[in-house]
């Protein structure tokens, strides 16, 4: 839906640009008409009338698409092409040999509409231009006596736009390949390479989005208790498999609309929009699931989870403090024996530093011990 909206907006912008180009066309031929006044005094009345009518139409078309950007999209484009070609044809037909100057406008009409609005409009413009040139050749004796010029005008009206179309398609293909590559790179930069879930960058972006839109949510910091022993006893390959299983169990635990990410090592985070009761139930479910045995023979049965919870905007509206509060709550769980959860309490304010320092001195250091499998 977003891509469709962007595409419609781009088409509208291109139509506006084509209108600006038409105004440039009007400005450019104004001094030419003044110059031709001395050569074709008998024809200037018709030329000036055509020029004025064309200018009125150009202004009307511009204000119409400004006011009604989504109305009569195809008919108004077709009508504009027809009028552009009709006005140009009239100038070429009337001015005889001087009319050849206006032939470049045929190419402008074909390429301008074709490159901006697509190949169908290009071929439609091309057919109309060729038909108009043939009509000039048949109806005007001056041009009938100069068939070689007519052939040249027809050839340039076909070859130049077709060459531009081929070039445009190749550039579009290259742009699509580049856009696809950029999307892949962007996706990889936001996805944890080991577990396949969002990484720290994705978390920071999502957290910023939630807070800017003032979406109430709970922030759950999750640290895996005892993970260092897995690496020490079974090796990093088994540790990677355990982390994948942890990510899968977390993904199975959260509700639709919740956000899960791996911060690095054995640290994970969940953002839940549920109320406090739902968040507590979620934390209990996570603790239960993550404490179940791991491995083919369930030989790893000593892992658990310590979860710290803070609420936005209940606890704070500051991003740094929100993360710090969840972190402090997690430290409190570690101090009380791990395998559980705590919600941040403002009554801890006097002993926050003491609490976190005590955990860092006495708690396990598994969140810092694992360089492999980083997000």
Decide: helix, strand or coil at residue 297. coil
β-pairing verdict for 217-225 and 304-312: antiparallel
Annotation marks residue 285 as catalytic: no
Point out the catalytic residue in the list 266, 315, 327, 357. 266
* C-alpha distances in Å from residue 218, one per residue of 47, 210, 344: 73, 11, 11
Residue with tokens 């070689």: 148
Cβ(329)–Cβ(344) below 8 Å:
yes
Q: In what order do the strands lie in the sheet with 304-312?
A: 259-264, 267-272, 217-225, 304-312, 340-343
Partners of 271 in the beta sheet?
219, 259
- Which residues fall within 8 angstroms of residue 198, CB to CB, at 6 or more apart? 190, 191, 192, 206, 259, 260, 261, 262
Contact predicate 61/19, CB 8 Å: yes
The CA-CA-CA angle for residues 87, 89, 92, to 5°, reads: 115
What is 270-295 written as a DSSP string? Answer: EEE-S-HHHHHHHHHHHHHHHTS-BS
Active-site annotation, residues = 266
């Amino acid at each position: 839906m977003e891509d469709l909206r962007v595409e419609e907006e781009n088409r509208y912008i291109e139509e506006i640009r084509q209108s600006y180009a038409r105004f440039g066309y009007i400005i450019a031929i104004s001094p030419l008409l003044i110059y031709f006044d001395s050569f074709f005094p008998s024809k200037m009345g018709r030329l000036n009338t055509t020029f004025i009518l064309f200018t009125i139409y150009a202004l009307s078309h511009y204000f119409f698409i400004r006011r009604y950007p989504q109305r009569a999209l195809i008919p108004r484009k077709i009508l504009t092409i027809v009028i552009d070609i009709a006005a140009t044809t009239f100038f070429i037909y009337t001015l005889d040999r001087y009319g050849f100057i206006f032939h470049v406008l045929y190419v402008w009409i074909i390429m301008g509409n074709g490159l901006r609005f697509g190949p169908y409009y290009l071929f439609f413009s091309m057919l109309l231009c060729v038909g108009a040139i043939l009509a000039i050749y048949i109806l005007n004796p001056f041009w009938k006596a100069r068939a070689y010029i007519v052939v040249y005008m027809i050839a340039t009206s076909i070859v130049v736009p077709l060459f531009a179309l081929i070039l445009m398609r190749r550039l579009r293909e290259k742009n699509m390949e580049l856009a696809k590559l950029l999307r892949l790179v962007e996706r990889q930069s936001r996805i944890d390479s080991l577990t396949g879930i969002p990484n720290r960058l994705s978390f920071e972006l999502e957290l910023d989005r939630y807070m800017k839109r003032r979406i109430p949510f709970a922030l759950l910091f999750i640290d895996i208790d005892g993970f260092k022993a897995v690496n020490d006893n079974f090796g990093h390959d088994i540790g990677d498999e355990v982390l994948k299983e942890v990510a899968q169990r977390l993904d199975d635990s959260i509700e639709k609309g919740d956000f899960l990410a791996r911060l690095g090592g054995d640290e994970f985070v969940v953002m839940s929009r549920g109320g406090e009761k739902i968040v507590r139930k979620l934390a209990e479910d996570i603790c239960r699931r993550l404490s179940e045995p791991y491995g083919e023979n369930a030989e790893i049965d000593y892992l658990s989870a310590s979860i710290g919870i803070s609420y936005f905007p209940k606890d704070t509206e500051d991003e740094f403090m929100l993360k710090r509060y969840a972190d402090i709550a997690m430290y409190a769980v570690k101090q009380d024996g791990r395998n559980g959860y705590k919600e941040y309490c403002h009554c801890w304010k006097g002993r926050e530093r003491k609490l976190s320092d005590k955990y860092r001195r006495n708690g396990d250091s598994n969140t810092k011990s694992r360089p492999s499998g980083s997000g």
